[in-house]
Amino acid sequence: MKSRGHRPLRLVSSPTRDVALDVERLRLERLGTDAVTNLPLHPDPGVGFERIAGLGVVYLQLGRFAGVESLYGWELYDRVLRLTASSLKEDLEISSLKGQHLSLSFNGCDGFCLLFDLSTRPAQRHAALLEPEARRFRQGVIRRLRQALGRIAVDLMSVYVGVASVADDPRVRPSRNLARGVLEAMRAAEALQTDARKGRVESLKEILSRRELRTVWQAVLGLSDRRVLGYEALIRGPVGSDLEMPDALFSVAREGDMLLELENLCLETIFAALPRAVRSSVLFVNASARLLTHPVFLDERNLSEMQRTHGNIVIEVSEKEIVWNYVAFREVLERLRAAGFRFAIDDAGSGYSGLETILQLRPEYIKVADSIVRNVHQDAIKREVLSSLLSLGRQIGATLVAEGIESEEELRSLSVLGLPYGQGFLFGRPAARISAGP
């Protein structure tokens, strides 16, 4: 734009009482509505104080999806919530209970609540009316999430529905009657979730006792010359099972309190069969702070055994974990460094810790979270985050690796920024065997 000479700055006057009141109103609105789904945060039939003779409640709970947020980050979970809300709205349009629908609300975390006015239907029929509709809502949500999110969603999928109906009783305040109905439907959904959890924990126990894990390898490459720097070892469960992907394995292990057992078996599996290509390059392995601080892991024989098997190991620790185990972790880190291991901070930039933490731990590698890499070419703030991490890396002599590169546009943007290394589906899927070229 050409210079057109100085223009006057128009300043808005100072606040009045009206301004303060209007802003308070906007703030209150904000408190009542969820920013992501745009749904009200409270179930309200929206009928004033009119009494509803028969109120039907359908409660849909995104079981373990709350865990998705800490695994994949808030952006993916935002998408899950938006998809769920729009799926419910679409299915409401074609529902046999459409005419009876009163409201749809969200609890702000993982639960959606649908209210229906069933006053015109006989009370003994309420359950029979609500249950098939609830099942349809659930199937709709699962179908759309699968379509949009694919495999990751399938593995962690668990959507549960519960229903309840409450009859009006003049002795009981309608607001409490409503709250009881919502609670009852929610508990019904939770009961199903608990049963499912027990089943999942059982299947993990079986996998561990049969040692049914395997390793796949993902190359870490130079972004300019595509030369292989090393390989990250990734763990898979039985092919085609619900527990094939590591996130599913680990989230179930957390539920069943079997994290250490799982991690031990992961390491044994990785070191049991190192492909030739891996033996001659850097080996990236993931470990939790919990494992690294465990005496069995820190045992001299264990450490030297690992060093004998592969002399160039980089242990990846997620940024999420370090925050909570900071002091103890630093000591362990020094011990492991003395034993010959190097470190990478995994998931950097996912927002759990500040740069300060990374600065203190002085890792040799900083692996940038894929949530930052995703569509980095379209997002100035993400590039800003990357620049901060790059300058931090320069300060402490750490090498940056971008994780989860999926598109040429992302790759170009990362190269322009000066990221030296990266990995991701763009360069090939993680595989059990390593072919000659990347």
Partner 1 sequence: MTDPSVFIVDDDPGVIEAVAAVLSDDGYRVSGASDSRSALLAVLADPPDLIVLDVSMPGLNGWELCDIVRRQTTTRDVPVLFLTGRGEVRDQITALQVGGSDHLKKPFRAEELRGKVRALTQNARRRGSP
The binding site for partner 1 (CB under 8 A) comprises 1-15, 19-20, 22-23, 26-27, 29-30, 33, 35, 38, 74, 349-351, 353-355, 379-382, 384-385, 388-389
Q: Least distance to partner 1 from the beta carbon of 40, Å? A: 13
- 322, 287 Cβ separation under 8 angstroms: no
* Minimum CB distance to partner 1 smaller for 20 or for 273: 20
Quote the CA–CA distance of 95 and 85 in Å, as a whole number. Answer: 15
- 314, 343 Cβ separation under 8 angstroms: yes
Q: Least distance to partner 1 from the beta carbon of 9, Å? A: 4
* Minimum CB distance to partner 1 smaller for 275 or for 418: 418
* Minimum CB distance to partner 1 smaller for 149 or for 390: 390
* Minimum CB distance to partner 1 smaller for 27 or for 279: 27
Q: Least distance to partner 1 from the beta carbon of 73, Å? A: 9
Quote the CA–CA distance of 299 and 216 in Å, as a whole number. Answer: 27
CB neighbours of residue 75 within 10 Å: 14
Q: Least distance to partner 1 from the beta carbon of 387, Å? A: 10
Q: List all residues 6 or more positions away from 192 whose beta carbon is below 8 Å from its beta carbon.
A: 160, 161, 162
How far is CA 421 from each of CA 82, 224, 278, 403, 413, rounded to the nearest angstrom? Answer: 33, 8, 17, 9, 13
Q: Least distance to partner 1 from the beta carbon of 2, Å? A: 7
Quote the CA–CA distance of 186 and 160 in Å, as a whole number. Answer: 9
* Minimum CB distance to partner 1 smaller for 17 or for 433: 17
Stretch (H or E) spanning 56: strand 54-62
Q: Least distance to partner 1 from the beta carbon of 108, Å? A: 14
Q: DSSP letters of 299-338? A: -HHHHHHHHHH-S-EEEEEEHHHHTTSHHHHHHHHHHHHH
How far is CA 216 from each of CA 232, 285, 309, 409, 430, rounded to the nearest angstrom? Answer: 8, 12, 18, 26, 6
* Minimum CB distance to partner 1 smaller for 175 or for 391: 391
* Minimum CB distance to partner 1 smaller for 75 or for 131: 75
How far is CA 123 from each of CA 118, 126, 334, 388, rounded to the nearest angstrom? Answer: 8, 5, 68, 62
Q: At 346, is the secondary structure helix, strand, or coil?
A: strand
Strands 228-236 and 399-402: unpaired
* Minimum CB distance to partner 1 smaller for 23 or for 172: 23
* Minimum CB distance to partner 1 smaller for 182 or for 345: 345
Q: Least distance to partner 1 from the beta carbon of 210, Å? A: 41
Q: Least distance to partner 1 from the beta carbon of 34, Å? A: 10
Q: Least distance to partner 1 from the beta carbon of 389, Å? A: 7
Q: DSSP letters of 79-123? A: HHHHHHHHHHHHHHHT-TTGGGEEEEEE-SSSEEEEEEE-TTS-G
